[in-house]
Structure 1
Amino acid sequence: MTSIKQTAGRDFLGDFAPNFAHFNDDVLFGENWNDTTIPLKTRAIITVVALMAQGITDSAMVHHLENAKKEGVSQRK
């Protein structure tokens, strides 16, 4: 599996909100998203379902739907 290197927190808010940048880049993506305990395809499904349950239909949903498709998640699943 390819490791995901996230730098968006530092790139956009690192000087303004360094704690947010740390939790977004290092904890959420660095530790949690790259943890292989749950397969990436399953995590993609869980993420889409969680966004749907919250009624989130913005660009975050679009991004995660595209990611789920890339991981082989079908529309039926």
Structure 2
Amino acid sequence: MFGDFAPALVGFTDDVLFGQVWERGELSARDRSLVTVAGLVTSGSTEQLAHHLGRARDNGASEQELIETITHLAFYAGWPKAMSAMAVAKELFQAP
């Protein structure tokens, strides 16, 4: 997406974040996905959320678990952030 525009950012994303950080053995990929989704919901970062909800499914989290995660976070992150996140989840999970 940004390779020709911001190659250093892409390099750090690929090599450090998704390479070194995501591959650490202290947390499973599923747990890392749930933590990441929670972080994105609580910060209101819905632009990144669709990618990470899909990644969380690929890493073993069910759609129902992800919906429950967002519902639970409504009480900690705030209702508007949870509603925005749920809209992203609904669009992703109900896509053909």
Deviation at 1:17, TM superposition (A): 4.1
Aligned to 1:49: 38
1:31 aligns with 2:11: no
Q: Aligned-pair RMSD on alpha carbons?
A: 2.0
* Structure 1 unaligned residues grouped into runs of 5+: 1-7
- Paired residues, what number? 65
Tell me the TM-score normalized by structure 1. 0.66
User: Which consecutive unaligned segments of at least 5 residues does structure 2 have?
Assistant: 70-96
The aligned runs of 1:1-77 (5 Å cut-off) are 12-13=3-4, 17-58=6-47, 60-73=48-61, 74=65, 75-77=67-69
Question: Runs of 4 or more off by more than 6 Å in structure 1?
Answer: none
How far does the alpha carbon of each residue in 1:13-56 deviate from its partner, in whole angstroms, 9 at most, with x for none?
Answer: 3xx54433432221112111111211111000000010011111
Distance 1:57 1:21 in 2: 20
Higher helix share: 2
TM-score (norm 2): 0.55
Identity of aligned residues (%): 34
Amino acid at match of 2:53: L
Shift of 1:70: 2.4
